[in-house]
C-alpha cells in the first residue's frame, strides 16, 4: 500500500516518499489569531491533521509543525479597536482556536511555533538573504528582490505581470521592483516591534513560515500544506526566501493545497463577511457532524457549506451510530441467550478505507466504504434477528457482526469519526451543553423568521421536534421543553 499525493509543484499525483521514512516532516500554515476562526479555516487543519495521523500510522513517527501567526496588522487593528494590548487579542484567540480544533477532533501538531517566539531566527534569515544579494534594506524596510531568484513563480506558474496583479502590491518608492515583498518593516508608537540591524520593527508575514520551518523541520521538508488561496503570494514567497537562504536547496518536496469552502456561492472569508464561526456552529450542531461535512468532499475540490450539508451529515452519523448501537445490543442479547461474546476484534482497518486514503486522501470514497460496511452490518443483524425468532442466532454470525462493527470503529478512527459511545452520540439531548445548542438553534430560528426565511425556521422547528424538543411561542419569547 502506498500513499499517493497530488503535488501542486509538479501538478501530478506522485508516490509519497519521505526523505527519512522513519519520520516524515510536514509544515502547515496556521491561523492569524485576531478573531474566532470560521469553518473554512478548519478545512486545512482537519484534512492535513488526518494526513499527519496517517503518516504517523504508516511511518511510526511524523514531525508536524503548524504555526500561529501572532504578529500581523489585523491583530494590531483588533487590539486598537478594542483598546487592549495586542497580547490580550492573541492569547484569547489562540486559546479559542485550540479549543475549536479539539472539538472538531483535529489532533494537536507536534510543534506549534509562534512568529513572536522566532524573531531571532527571522532576523538571522533576513541577514543571510541580504548577505547573499537576495534582499536589500531601504528606509527602515527590508525587501526581498524577486529578480534575484530565477525560480520565482514556479509553484503558482504565473507570469510576472499576473503575479504583480495577484499580490496587489502597493508600489512603494523604496522598492527596486514592484513585485519585491517585505521581510521587515518599521514599527512606531504602540505597534509591536523588536530591535534589529535595520531599526526597530517587525517581520512581514511570509518570512515567519520560512524561519519556523527551518527551525523545527530543517532546510528541506517533505510536505508543505495550506489553502489554495495561500499558493500565491504566500507560498511562492516562502519558497523564494527558503531556497535563497539555503543556497538553492529545495524547500518543500510535496506541496498540498486544499480547495476553498464556499458559503452562499463565494469563498467563505472574514473580509466578505460570509462566515460561520466554529465557536458558534459547535453550539448548535454536534461537532462530529461538522467534521463529517468537511470530509464529505475531496480536499482539493471546492465545498459549498450549507445547513443542508450539516443536516445530512447529522443524519448519516445517526445511521452509523445506530448501526453500532443496534449491533452491540444484538450481541448482548446473544450473550444473554448463552452465546459466547466474541473477543473484541483487534480493529482491522478495512482495506477499502486505507486504499481510499492512499488515493490522494479521497475521503468521500473512504466515507462511502464506511457506509457500505455499516450497511453489511445492518443486513447481517436483520438476518440474524429474523433467524433468532425461530432459532438461536448463529455464533459465527455474531462474530461476523462484531468484526464488522470493529471495522467501522477502526475505519472511523482513521477519519476521526465514530469514536464516541453510541449512547453518548444519541444522548446529545440531555447534557447542559445540549441546552446551549438547543438555545442557539432557537435563536437561529428567530433570526431566520426575522429574515423571512420561513423554510429555514420550519426546518429548525422540525429538527428539534424530531429530537423531542417542543417549541412554544410566548409573549416573553420562545420557550422549549423536552417531550
Ligand atoms: P488565514 O488565517 O486566513 O491565513 O487562514 C488560515 C488557513 O485557512 C489557511 O490555510 C487558508 O488557506 C485557509 N482558508 C481560509 N479561508 C478558507 C476557505 N474559505 N476555505 C478553505 N480554507 C480556507
Ligand atoms: Zn505560511
Task: Concatenate the DSSP letters of all residues of 95-153 into one string.
Answer: HHHHHHHHHTTPPPPSB--BSGGGHHHHHHHHHHHHHTTSEEEETTEEEE-GGG-TTTT
- 294 within ligand 1 shell (Cβ under 6 A): no
Nearest 5°: CA angle at 46, between 403 and 20? Answer: 85
- 113 within ligand 1 shell (Cβ under 6 A): no
Mutate to test the pocket of ligand 1, among 115, 229, 294, 298 (most ligand atoms within 8 A of CB): 229
Indicate which atom in ligand 1 lies nearest the CA of residue 30.
6
- 230 within ligand 1 shell (Cβ under 6 A): yes
What is the pTM for the complete model shown? 0.88
Q: Copy the grid coordinates of residue 147.
A: 529578480
* Rounded-to-integer distance, Cα 217 and Cα 56, Å: 16
- 43 within ligand 1 shell (Cβ under 6 A): yes
Q: How buried is residue 391: exposed, middle or buried, by Cβ count under 10 Å (0-12/13-18/19+)?
A: exposed
Instruction: Using alpha carbons, list the distances in angstroms from residue 398 to 218, 347, 348, 385.
Output: 52, 16, 17, 10
- 192 within ligand 1 shell (Cβ under 6 A): no
Q: Which residue from 198, 169, 202, 235 is spatially nearest to 27, judged by alpha carbons?
A: 235
Indicate which atom in ligand 1 lies nearest the CA of residue 234.
4
138 beta partners: 141
Instruction: Using alpha carbons, list the distances in angstroms from residue 155 to 204, 224, 305, 362.
Output: 20, 12, 28, 23
CA of 69 from ligand 1 middle (Å) equals 13
Q: Which ligand is nearest to the CA of 236?
A: 2
CA of 227 from ligand 1 middle (Å) equals 5
Q: Which ligand is nearest to the CA of 233?
A: 2
- 267 within ligand 1 shell (Cβ under 6 A): yes
Q: In the prediction, which pLDDT does 253 show?
A: 98
* Rounded-to-integer distance, Cα 67 and Cα 236, Å: 18
Give the distance between the most distant pair of CA atoms in the chain. Answer: 89
Q: In the prediction, which pLDDT does 168 show?
A: 57
Q: What is the dihedral of CA 123, 124, 128, 134, to 10 degrees?
A: -20
- 74 within ligand 1 shell (Cβ under 6 A): no
CA of 69 from ligand 2 middle (Å) equals 9
* Rounded-to-integer distance, Cα 430 and Cα 446, Å: 23
Q: Copy the grid coordinates of residue 202.
A: 517587525
- 289 within ligand 1 shell (Cβ under 6 A): no
pLDDT in tens, the chain (483 residues): 699 999 999 999 999 999 999 999 999 999 999 999 999 999 999 999 999 999 999 999 999 999 999 999 999 999 999 999 999 999 999 999 999 999 999 999 999 999 999 999 999 999 999 999 999 999 999 999 999 999 999 999 987 676 666 565 567 889 999 999 999 999 998 899 999 999 999 999 999 999 999 999 999 999 999 999 999 999 999 999 999 999 999 999 999 999 999 999 999 999 999 999 999 999 999 999 999 999 999 999 999 999 999 999 999 999 999 999 999 888 777 776 776 676 655 668 999 999 999 999 999 999 999 999 999 999 999 988 887 655 555 778 888 999 999 999 999 999 999 999 999 999 885 556 677 778 878 887 887 787 777 877 887 888 888 778 888 888 778 888 887
Q: Which residue from 139, 33, 50, 39 is spatially nearest to 86, judged by alpha carbons?
A: 33
- 40 within ligand 1 shell (Cβ under 6 A): yes
Mutate to test the pocket of ligand 1, among 223, 227, 258, 264 (most ligand atoms within 8 A of CB): 227
Indicate which atom in ligand 1 lies nearest the CA of residue 225.
10
Mutate to test the pocket of ligand 1, among 38, 43, 65 (most ligand atoms within 8 A of CB): 43
Q: In the prediction, which pLDDT does 69 show?
A: 98
Q: In the prediction, which pLDDT does 431 show?
A: 57
Closest residue by Cα to atom 18, ligand 1, is 40
- 226 within ligand 1 shell (Cβ under 6 A): yes
CA of 209 from ligand 1 middle (Å) equals 15
CA of 214 from ligand 2 middle (Å) equals 12
Closest residue by Cα to atom 17, ligand 1, is 40
Other C-beta atoms closer than 10 Å to the C-beta of 103 total: 16
Tell me the chain's radius of gyration from C-alpha atoms.
26
**Are the C-beta atoms of 258 and 47 separated by less than 8 Å?**
yes
Indicate which atom in ligand 1 lies nearest the CA of residue 267.
19
Q: How buried is residue 211: exposed, middle or buried, by Cβ count under 10 Å (0-12/13-18/19+)?
A: buried
- 75 within ligand 1 shell (Cβ under 6 A): no
Q: In the prediction, which pLDDT does 157 show?
A: 92
Amino acid at each position: 500500500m502506498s500513499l499517493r499525493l497530488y503535488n501542486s509543484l509538479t501538478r501530478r499525483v506522485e508516490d509519497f516518499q519521505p526523505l527519512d521514512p522513519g519520520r516524515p516532516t510536514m509544515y502547515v500554515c496556521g491561523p492569524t489569531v485576531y478573531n474566532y476562526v470560521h469553518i473554512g479555516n478548519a478545512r486545512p487543519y482537519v484534512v492535513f491533521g488526518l494526513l499527519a495521523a496517517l503518516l504517523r500510522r504508516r511511518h511510526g513517527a511524523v514531525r508536524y509543525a503548524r504555526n500561529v501567526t501572532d504578529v500581523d496588522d489585523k491583530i494590531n487593528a483588533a487590539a486598537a479597536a478594542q483598546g487592549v494590548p495586542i497580547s490580550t487579542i492573541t492569547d484569547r484567540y489562540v486559546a479559542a482556536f485550540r479549543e475549536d480544533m479539539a472539538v472538531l477532533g483535529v489532533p494537536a501538531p507536534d510543534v506549534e511555533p509562534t512568529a513572536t517566539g522566532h524573531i531571532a531566527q527571522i532576523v538571522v534569515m533576513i541577514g543571510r538573504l541580504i548577505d547573499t544579494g537576495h534582499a536589500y534594506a531601504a528606509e527602515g524596510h527590508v525587501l526581498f528582490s524577486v529578480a534575484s531568484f530565477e525560480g520565482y513563480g514556479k509553484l503558482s506558474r504565473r507570469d510576472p505581470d499576473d503575479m504583480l496583479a495577484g499580490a496587489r502590491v502597493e508600489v512603494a518608492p523604496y522598492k527596486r521592483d514592484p513585485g519585491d515583498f517585505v521581510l521587515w518593516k518599521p514599527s512606531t508608537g504602540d505597534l509591536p516591534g523588536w530591535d534589529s540591524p535595520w531599526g526597530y520593527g517587525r517581520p512581514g508575514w511570509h518570512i515567519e513560515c520560512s524561519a519556523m520551518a527551518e527551525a523545527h523541520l530543517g532546510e528541506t521538508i517533505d510536505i508543505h500544506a495550506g489553502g489554495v488561496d495561500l499558493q500565491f503570494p504566500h507560498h511562492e514567497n516562502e519558497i523564494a526566501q527558503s531556497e535563497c537562504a539555503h543556497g538553492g536547496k529545495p524547500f518543500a518536496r510535496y506541496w498540498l493545497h486544499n480547495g476553498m469552502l464556499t458559503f452562499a456561492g463565494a469563498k467563505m472569508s472574514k473580509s466578505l463577511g460570509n462566515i460561520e464561526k466554529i465557536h458558534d456552529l459547535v453550539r448548535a450542531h454536534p461537532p462530529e457532524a461538522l467534521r463529517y461535512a468537511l470530509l464529505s468532499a475531496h480536499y482539493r475540490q471546492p465545498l459549498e457549506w450549507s445547513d443542508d450539508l450539516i443536516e445530512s451529515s447529522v443524519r448519516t452519523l445517526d445511521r452509523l451510530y445506530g448501526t453500532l448501537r443496534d449491533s452491540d445490543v444484538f450481541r448482548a442479547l446473544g450473550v444473554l441467550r448463552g452465546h459466547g461474546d466474541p473477543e473484541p476484534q483487534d480493529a482491522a482497518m478495512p482495506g477499502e478505507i486505507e486504499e481510499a486514503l492512499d488515493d490522494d486522501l479521497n475521503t468521500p470514497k473512504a466515507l462511502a466504504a464506511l457506509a457500505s460496511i455499516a450497511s453489511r452490518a445492518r443486513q447481517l443483524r436483520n438476518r440474524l434477528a429474523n433467524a433468532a425468532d425461530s432459532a438461536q442466532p448463529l455464533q459465527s454470525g455474531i462474530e461476523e457482526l462484531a468484526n464488522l462493527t470493529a471495522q467501522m470503529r477502526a475505519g472511523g478512527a482513521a477519519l476521526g469519526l465514530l469514536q464516541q459511545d453510541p449512547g453518548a452520540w444519541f444522548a446529545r439531548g440531555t447534557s447542559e451543553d445540549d441546552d446551549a445548542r438547543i438555545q442557539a438553534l432557537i435563536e437561529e430560528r428567530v433570526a431566520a423568521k426575522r429574515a423571512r426565511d420561513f423554510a429555514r425556521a420550519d426546518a429548525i422547528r422540525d429538527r428539534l421536534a424530531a429530537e423531542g424538543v417542543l417549541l412554544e411561542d410566548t409573549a416573553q419569547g420562545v420557550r422549549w421543553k423536552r417531550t
